Amino acid sequence: MPIWKLSAVSDRKGIAKHIAKDNPTAAVEIVDLLIKTAGALDANPKMGRIGRMKGTREAVAHPNYVLVYQVSDNTVTVLRVLHTSQAWPA
């Protein structure tokens, strides 16, 4: 199971809250998809592309959302969950 940094948990909660304003069902589905994508990284930590920041990788969980993560000793740590329109790193 991947480790979720507090920043990634906060991102995930913010995304859910934003989507839930208009569509609570979609919010639950997106959060489930983010969690499933992170779980898939355990089996294949290099499935994401090389990240924009040194030492990171990025996995597209949904056309609008990307998981930024690191792999160390086969442990996956999710650092951030970003909307694809976000300028990152800022």
Q: How far is CA 44 from the centre of its chain?
A: 15
The answer to whether residue 63 sits within a structural domain is yes
C-alpha–C-alpha distance, residues 1 and 57, integer Å: 17
Q: What's the total number of domains in the chain? A: 1
The answer to whether residue 89 sits within a structural domain is no
Task: Name residues whose C-beta falls within 8 Å of residue 16's C-beta, 6 or more positions apart in sequence.
Answer: 27, 28, 30, 31
The answer to whether residue 88 sits within a structural domain is no
Q: pLDDT truncated to tens, each residue of the chain (90 aa)?
A: 899 999 999 999 999 999 999 999 999 999 999 999 999 999 999 999 999 999 999 999 999 999 999 999 889 999 999 999 988 786
**Strand pairing category for 65-72 and 75-83:** antiparallel
**pTM score of the predicted model:** 0.94
Structural domain boundaries enclosing 53? 3-83
pLDDT, position 1: 87
Ramachandran assignment for 74, one of left (phi > 0), alpha (psi -120 to 50 degrees), beta (any other) = left
pLDDT, position 41: 96
Q: What is the CATH number of the domain that holds 52?
A: 3.30.2310.20
Hey, is 84 helix, strand or coil? Answer: coil
